[in-house]
Amino acid sequence: MTMITSDQRRQYNRFAADGCRKALAATNPSREGLQRLLGRGNAWQAYLEAGIAQFTGPTNYDFARTMLGSNFVSPEEIALKRGITYTDEQLDRFGDTLPSKDALRWCRYNGMMLVAGPPESMSLLDVRRLYPGFFCEEEGGWYADRAQKFAKGDKVQPSWLAFTADPRTIRYAKDRTQRLSLMTEESMSIPNAAQVVWCLTTHVAVCGDYVSEEDEGDLETSSIDSDAYGVCIEVRHLGEMNLGVNSYPNPSQEIVVGIPAVRTF
């Protein structure tokens, strides 16, 4: 463990003094109230010590794991299982932006997994390069063509993503209007192709299979190809998850397409 620097110590002392002054001004206790605090000085100092331990230690994901179980995927797990490197600053950012307890309960109630995004923005082609074995076409393919701008331009961002956790909860084309209305009310949207493949491949890499043979299907995305056709992600189970990328003039009518949902934090 490296020692803290003299500059850090000075900044800490300044923050502590400023925080105490602000807290005193905000609470504005009576003389009797402040005396009660001073009379319990040891307990107050223990409270401060616990706070320092909380904010200087690693991020505590216990509540998220309790709420979501294997449907919670942290950046540390992704780094271990996918061979991706997150800097300390990036890990701190994910820790600082972890959704609130109410949001985690919302994820559980709505059947959503919560997955950390990549350390930097990644496209569909970027995600495929991480582990080509998840895809029907490991290299090339129609969507690698320069004209297919969605494959490079639509990105998954370095943020938390709540994504449809169970393929059996996905609504299909016949419920499309109702599904989209509900998604809007719940601050959800249809994910782009990069978001879909990141969440699917990451969940499988860390937690195991996403689909069984009974749960195979095509997932609509918000991505659009060069012919203005909608892009779908084909999810198949061939011993392990196998993804294809297709496009259709009107996915909601031409084929039976599932409509996944995503919410970013």
Residue type for position 8 = Q
Does 51 lie in the same domain as 69? no
Question: pTM of the prediction?
Answer: 0.75
Mean pLDDT across the chain = 85
Question: Which structure tokens are listed for 29?
Answer: 């206790």
Per-residue pLDDT band at 173 (split at 50, 70, 90) = very low
In degrees to the nearest 10, what's the CA dihedral of 135, 250, 146, 158? -60
Cα gap 13→79, rounded to integer Å: 35
Percentage, residues of the chain above pLDDT 70: 83
Backbone angles phi, psi at 145, to 5 degrees: -65, 145
Does 76 lie in the same domain as 158? yes
On whether the CB atoms of residues 143 and 192 are closer than 8 A, the answer is no
Residue type for position 191 = P
Per mean pLDDT, which range of 34-38, 150-154, 176-180 is the poorest?
A: 176-180
Does 118 lie in the same domain as 34? no
Packing angle of the helix pair 75-82, 193-207 (nearest 10 deg): 80
Last residue of a domain, one of 40, 56, 72: 56
Does 68 lie in the same domain as 16? no
Per-residue pLDDT band at 108 (split at 50, 70, 90) = very high
Does 184 lie in the same domain as 90? yes
CA separation (Å) from 104 to 59, 95, 98, 194, 202? Answer: 15, 14, 9, 23, 19
Cα gap 100→47, rounded to integer Å: 22
Q: Which residue has the higher pLDDT, 148 or 51?
A: 148
Cα gap 152→264, rounded to integer Å: 20
Does 16 lie in the same domain as 132? no
Question: Which structure tokens are listed for 218?
Answer: 């095509």
pLDDT digits (tens, 9 = 90+) for 113-138: 999 999 999 999 999 999 888 898 87
On whether the CB atoms of residues 159 and 140 are closer than 8 A, the answer is no
pLDDT of residue 15: 87
Does 32 lie in the same domain as 150? no
Cα gap 61→91, rounded to integer Å: 12
Mean pLDDT for the stretch of residues 98-106: 93
pLDDT digits (tens, 9 = 90+) for 177-216: 666 776 776 788 899 999 999 999 999 889 876 655 556 7
In degrees to the nearest 10, what's the CA dihedral of 18, 21, 23, 26? -120
Of 44, 211, 229, 84, which Cα lies nearest the Cα of 150? 229
Does 254 lie in the same domain as 191? yes
Assess if residue 1 is contained within a domain. Answer: no
SS3 34: helix
**Domain assignment of residue 100, given as a range:** 62-264
pLDDT of residue 46: 80
Q: Is the pLDDT of residue 171 over 70?
A: no
Number of Cβ within a 10 Å radius of residue 161: 22
Per-residue pLDDT band at 250 (split at 50, 70, 90) = low
How many structural domains compose the chain? Answer: 2
